Amino acid sequence: MANTVENDNTAIIETNTDSSSCKLYAISRDYWSDPYMKFFTTKHERKTPEINIGYYIRVTAIRKFLKKFIQQTNQQCQIINLGCGYDTTYFNLQDDPSLNVKHFIDIDFYQITEIKTRLIRRTPQLAEKLNINEEEESISIPGGLHTSTYTILPVDLREISSLDKQLQLIEKNLDYNLPTFFLSECVLIYMSLENSTNLLSYITQKFSTCFFLNFEQINMFDRFGQIMYDNLKQRCCHLLGIQACKSKQTQCQRFIDTNFQQAQLISLNDYYKQYVDIREKQRLDKIDGGLDEKELLEQLFDHYCFCWAYKDPLNIGLDKVTS
């Protein structure tokens, strides 16, 4: 790719470090439970209640989507986490024996997957989850890891040919006809629209039945969104895919344009109001002494969303996997 801005991954990789730090702090404050994040990062600086609650909604909502998908597909499914960072979703799923998944794949830049793989190998609590000592890895993946149930693949998602080659390495444990859940958290916005369109088109061409959950920014062309954009730009985080984050329509339309059957969206603000019950809100409010400015929370939450889309030619009921 000729675009040197898009070729510079340093700032994007740093957002993963920031995200892990935010999650670890919120976990330490008991916003939600995750016994595995501490193995991937030790950095956790104090964050505001708005940030903590935002991450709480992000994590708990994704878990609910995953659970609904696994139950709807009768556990005959696979999960692919795009731009996974140091996400611990696989390990947390392993703690619920009712949620069996045939195969789980984490994908990210080599700089991240190499560190993640090394941390897993040298941490007994993580290695034991994979039976690494008992299960011989049949495939050697530089900067990655492969077992019969879990794979870490180093891939630049803007390079579709590279993605395809890496997936071919593990085709023995990958079924393109099996219902597949794709998870993407603040990934597509860092790609050009051309590259994200190519990625989504590849998914619908390659996987016969698929569900895509995207957590990302929205309403990025109002005043608050512009401030967010400028702040990230100052950190050299260039939001090359911002045009798709203009509105509900633009977020959903890119999935329709890449052969998903249907797309839906809910803002973080609406999710908080509709799906977090009053008792849970009260619990969250007590953790850090309440919100100083509820208006700031609403503004922030109006600029993030969950957008989901599916392709379901066999009518197995992916339309029932909703917020």
- Residue 76: phi and psi, rounded to 5, are -95, 80
Q: Is 185 annotated as ligand-binding?
A: yes
Round to whole Å and give the CA distance between 189 and 185: 9
Q: Is 167 annotated as ligand-binding?
A: no
β-bridge partners, 216 = 305
Instruction: Judge contact between 199 and 157, C-beta under 8 A.
Output: yes
Q: Is 280 annotated as ligand-binding?
A: no
Q: Is 114 annotated as ligand-binding?
A: no
Tokens linked to 201: 């088109």
Q: Is 50 annotated as ligand-binding?
A: no
Cβ neighbors of 134 (< 8 A, separation 6 or more) are none
Question: What is the separation of C-alpha 208 from the centre of its chain, rounded to a whole number of angstroms?
Answer: 21
Round to whole Å and give the CA distance between 22 and 19: 5
Give the count of beta carbons closer than 10 Å to the beta carbon of residue 294: 11
Tokens linked to 179: 């219902």
Binding-site positions: 58, 83, 156-157, 185
Give binding residues for S-adenosyl-L-methionine as ranges: 58, 83, 156-157, 185
